[in-house]
């Protein structure tokens, strides 16, 4: 994430041997060797996928867990209110992502996953996260989730895969979508009680994380829709970052840009003036939802992403530089190969459609590789047959993922033994930082 290069410039070669005191980023060195295993996970470029609908369910991805859900049968709360919810959910958690899936991810060059969870999935670590919420009566339904989440982190660590934990559903829900935990039509998160309780939930999450190096960050809130509460959200971000950092000073914090990328990049820059370092801005990039998207042919979408003077490249270049200067970074936490059918209309046959899809995905990846510290495809897989827009496995198996080389075996997996992997990763990271330093 450019952090190794930044440390080199600020502190010279001595930065290679020690890092800074976490509570005073520009103060004095501590004795712990730099980089640690956690540093290597956090500072490398994150090339990942979302493990969508594993814990926070989305019916369009996984239909089967909703079979006994209460009406309107669209959200986790609807599943919890239905019959046999505990058995249905635990079966889903144990079968949707297995060790075979983890092995596939490692073998195909994925070095990080973004794991969407709801606050209710933490209740097995501390039941108080449910107090006064819509899920208060469903502790027994969700208590088994936390042990499975920590097991997932451990499996990922064994395969040199990082984990970004994303709070996808907060008390009262932070946006209008059912993937925020309930089917309520409007967000109720933006109250003093719910926001304060969410800070408690996030600090509880951090306190109970396993002592493993591969947690690359905590995303405080997925896709909040603050509307008139924008300033309240920014105040909450600041106070919650402080609360999390009081427990885990070195933990990278990810925040959503609310689709106001420049505004929130400026916000992170203002935080850096208070010595709040390593805050990452998460932007979600889709080209299939708006009327303009529908009216734009696939190749025109790809051309716009490739255009160095286009809005996407210009915004990413500007924001990425601003965030680097503030000790942060830009990631795209969600993107996909999905195009509206209207964007593919008129193409002369299947081969032309596949070519257009491939061109679009490559344009996305080229853009993200150039400007972003990381990216996460939405989503790893789906039920219900092949989906060349939304299912990463289908995109890879269908030959739409760009070549050469982004789907390759993880470099560290080629080294024998865990210590060998870590030493090799360290040497590569430090070598890259020195090369970059010479170029600037």
Report the distance separating Cα 271 and Cα 182, nearest Å.
Answer: 32
Please name which of 225, 226, 209 lies closest in space to residue 217, comparing C-alpha atoms. 209
Please name which of 335, 333, 430 lies closest in space to residue 392, comparing C-alpha atoms. 335
- pLDDT score at 406: 53
CATH number 3.20.20.80 given to 47-232? yes
**pLDDT at residue 308 greater than cutoff 70:** yes
Q: Tell me what the mean pLDDT of segment 75-89 comes to.
A: 98
Instruction: Give 415 or 225, the one with higher predicted confidence.
Output: 225
- Determine whether 113 is exposed, middle or buried from the number of CB atoms within 10 Å of its CB (0-12, 13-18, 19+): buried
Q: pLDDT tens across 26-56, in order?
A: 322 334 576 899 999 999 999 999 999 999 9
Q: Tell me what the mean pLDDT of segment 283-296 comes to.
A: 93
**pLDDT at residue 117 greater than cutoff 90:** yes
Q: What is the largest CA-CA distance in the chain?
A: 64
- pLDDT score at 23: 34
Query: pLDDT exceeding 70 applies to what percent of the chain?
Result: 84
**pLDDT at residue 342 greater than cutoff 80:** yes
Cβ neighbors of 256 (< 8 A, separation 6 or more) are 219, 220, 221, 222, 223, 224, 264, 282, 284, 333
Domain ranges of the chain: 1-35+410-440, 47-232, 270-399
* CA 127 to chain CA mean position, Å: 25
**Cβ contact 145:207 at 8 Å:** no
- Range in 110-124, 217-231, 418-432 the model is least confident about: 418-432
Half-sphere exposure of 237 (CA within 13 A, CB side): 26
Coil, strand or helix at 114:
strand
Cis geometry, peptide bond prior to residue 49 (ω within 30 degrees of 0): no
Report the distance separating Cα 221 and Cα 219, nearest Å.
Answer: 6
**Cβ contact 26:20 at 8 Å:** yes
- pLDDT score at 277: 84
**Cβ contact 105:97 at 8 Å:** no
Backbone angles phi, psi at 253, to 5 degrees: -115, 130
- pLDDT score at 269: 94
In SS3 terms, 198-230 reads as: HHHHHHHHHHCCCCCCCEEEEECCCCCCCHHHH
**Cβ contact 312:367 at 8 Å:** yes
- pLDDT score at 31: 44
Q: pLDDT tens across 187-200, in order?
A: 999 999 999 999 99
The per-residue pLDDT of the chain, averaged, comes to 86
pLDDT band (50, 70, 90) for residue 311: very high
Report the distance separating Cα 339 and Cα 162, nearest Å.
Answer: 29
What sign for the dihedral angle of Cα 326, 330, 14, 32?
positive
Backbone angles phi, psi at 331, to 5 degrees: -125, 155
**pLDDT at residue 108 greater than cutoff 70:** yes
DSSP state, 50? E
pLDDT band (50, 70, 90) for residue 11: very low
Q: pLDDT tens across 240-266, in order?
A: 999 999 999 999 999 999 999 999 999
DSSP state, 69? P
């Amino acid at each position: 994430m450019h952090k190794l290069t930044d440390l080199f410039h600020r502190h010279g070669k001595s930065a290679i041997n020690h890092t800074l005191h976490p509570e005073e980023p520009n103060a004095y060195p501590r004795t712990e060797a730099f980089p640690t295993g956690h540093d290597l996970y956090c500072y490398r470029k994150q090339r990942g996928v979302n493990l969508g609908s594993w814990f926070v369910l989305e019916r369009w991805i996984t239909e089967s867990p909703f079979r006994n859900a209460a009406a309107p049968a669209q959200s986790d709360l609807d599943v919890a209110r239905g019959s046999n919810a505990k058995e249905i959910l635990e079966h889903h958690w144990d079968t949707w992502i297995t060790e075979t899936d983890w092995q596939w991810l490692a073998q195909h060059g994925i070095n990080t996953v973004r794991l969407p969870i709801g606050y209710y999935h933490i209740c097995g670590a501390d039941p108080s996260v449910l107090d006064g919420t819509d899920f208060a009566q469903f502790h027994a339904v969700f208590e088994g989730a936390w042990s499975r989440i920590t097991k997932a982190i451990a499996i990922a660590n064994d395969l040199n895969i990082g984990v970004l934990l994303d709070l996808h559903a907060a008390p009262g829900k932070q946006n209008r979508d059912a993937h925020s935990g309930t089917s309520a039509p409007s967000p109720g998160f933006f109250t003093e009680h719910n926001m304060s309780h969410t800070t408690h939930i996030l600090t509880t999450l951090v306190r109970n994380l396993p002592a493993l190096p591969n947690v690359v960050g905590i995303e405080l809130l997925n896709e909040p829709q603050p509307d008139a509460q924008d300033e309240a959200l920014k105040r909450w971000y600041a106070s919650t970052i402080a609360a999390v950092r009081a427990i885990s000073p070195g933990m990278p914090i990810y925040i959503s840009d609310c689709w106001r990328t420049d505004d929130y990049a400026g916000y992170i820059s203002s935080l850096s003036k208070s010595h709040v370092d390593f805050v990452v801005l998460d932007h979600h990039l889709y080209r299939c939802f708006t009327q303009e998207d529908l009216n734009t042919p696939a190749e025109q979408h790809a051309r716009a992403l490739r255009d160095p003077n286009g809005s996407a490249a210009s915004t990413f270049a500007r924001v990425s530089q601003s965030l680097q200067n503030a000790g942060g970074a830009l990631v795209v936490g969600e993107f996909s190969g999905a195009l509206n059918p209207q964007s593919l209309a008129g193409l002369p046959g299947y081969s032309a459609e596949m070519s257009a899809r491939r061109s679009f995905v490559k344009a996305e990846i080229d853009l993200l590789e150039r400007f972003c510290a990381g990216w996460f495809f939405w989503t790893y897989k789906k039920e219900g047959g092949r989906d060349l827009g939304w299912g990463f496995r289908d995109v890879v198996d269908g030959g739409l993922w760009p070549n050469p080389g982004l789907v390759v075996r993880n470099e560290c997996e080629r080294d024998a033994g865990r210590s060998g992997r870590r030493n090799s990763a360290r040497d590569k990271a430090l070598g890259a930082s020195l090369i970059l330093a010479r170029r600037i």
